Amino acid sequence: MADSASLRARRSRAHKAGDHSLCRPERCPEAETQVPEGADPIEAALRRYLVGLDLPEGDVRAVIAATALRLAEGLDRHATASAARELRGSVAELQELGDDDGGRAQGTRMLDDLKEMLR
């Protein structure tokens, strides 16, 4: 799936400003290695992993990735077994959903099911 024009524009502006968090690793050598200064070990490792996923705007995996980042930040401050399990589950879910259209469709179904359960 091609990136939207707005995402490409945001990526370009961020790149020019020295922020490579939206850059694609195959196009920008800084993308793979850039981790926010002061990032702790678990958060830094997760950010390096997420850069390789290249999540397009609107991809349901972005929600899982954001949740995983919050968990990683929390684990770096105060590690708990339950947070570690949740982070492992989030990363496993990202891997399971993959990068194909089927993965996005499965993720969409998962979110629809969750919305239904919360009603």
User: Six-digit token pair at 4?
Assistant: 């939207």
User: Six-digit token pair at 110?
Assistant: 């998962």
Model confidence at 107: pLDDT above 60? no
User: Six-digit token pair at 20?
Assistant: 């490579």
What integer pLDDT is reported at residue 70 of this predicted model?
Answer: 92
User: Six-digit token pair at 79?
Assistant: 């590690």
> What percentage of the chain has pLDDT greater than the value 70?
71
pLDDT tens digits, one per residue of 52-92: 787 877 788 888 999 999 998 888 888 888 888 898 889 88
- Measured in degrees and rounded to the nearest 5, phi and psi for residue 58 equal 90, -5
Q: How far apart are CA 20 and CA 35, in angstroms?
A: 9
Q: How far apart are CA 42 and CA 79, in angstroms?
A: 10
pTM over 0.85, yes/no: no
Contact in structure between 87 and 68 (CB atoms under 8 Å): yes
Angle at 119 between CA 116 and CA 86, to 5 degrees: 65
Q: How far apart are CA 60 and CA 77, in angstroms?
A: 27
Q: How many residues does the chain have?
A: 119
